[in-house]
Amino acid sequence: MRLHAVPVVSLLLAAAALSGCAVLSNAKDGHGKLEQQADALQSTPAARHADDRKRLNDALATIYADSTARPLRYYSKFVDLNGDGKREAVAYVVGPNGCVDGCDLYVLARDGARYEAVSRIPVSRAPLYQLDRRHDGWHDLLVTTVDDAGGSKRQRMQYADGGYVPVDDNSTDDAARTALIASLHGPGQDIPSKAGSRQ
């Protein structure tokens, strides 16, 4: 499975500067982070009899194994984005200072018994919407992103070349949409310190 990161330099620079967001260590950009995560996820225990929540916990624990930001939690939704009959996972990862400056949004897909990251969309905020429009068989997403000045805007993401990318055509005012993650209120789910652990 090919991983794809959002190629927006300003978003990546902002993500690296966030103190409240769970930033991965030893990575220069979003693409490098996803490559490192791909290597790490190959060693994630293949929980053959686990449910989707356990698989997602293990994937996120592996991705953030070297993060010094704790506690980490996430908000998620399981939904079939590409019509293949398997549920993908979308998850906002929130660091100890919350998501005021934006947090990482992941789209993960099943690869055998594991979830693996398809896309990482940094400095994002809820709500997250699934749009009826599709590209390459995958539903478009509508996400709120944070700019360098702290402002926010709605950004349409479409699936292309193996991952979600931002598109210039942001005409979504009349687009049919379904809320996947409406807010980041409540306790969320804890990300364990390593794959396979329980909290």
User: Span 97-123, mean pLDDT?
Assistant: 88
**Maximum average pLDDT range among 9-18, 30-39, 169-178:** 169-178
Residue 150: pLDDT over 80: no
| Beta pairing, strands 88-94 & 73-79 | antiparallel
Select the more confidently predicted residue: 147 or 89: 89
pLDDT per position as a tens digit, 55-109 = 999 999 999 998 888 889 999 999 999 999 999 999 999 988 777 778 899 999 9
Nearest to 189 by CA among 92, 81, 85: 92
pTM: 0.75
Instruction: Give, in order, the Cα–Cα distances in Å from 100 to each of 21, 142, 182.
Output: 9, 19, 16
Asked whether 82 and 88 are in contact (CB, 8 A), the reply is yes
Select the more confidently predicted residue: 162 or 1: 162
Residue 33: pLDDT over 80: no
Nearest to 34 by CA among 57, 62, 68: 62
How many Å apart are CA 150 and CA 104, to the nearest integer? 15
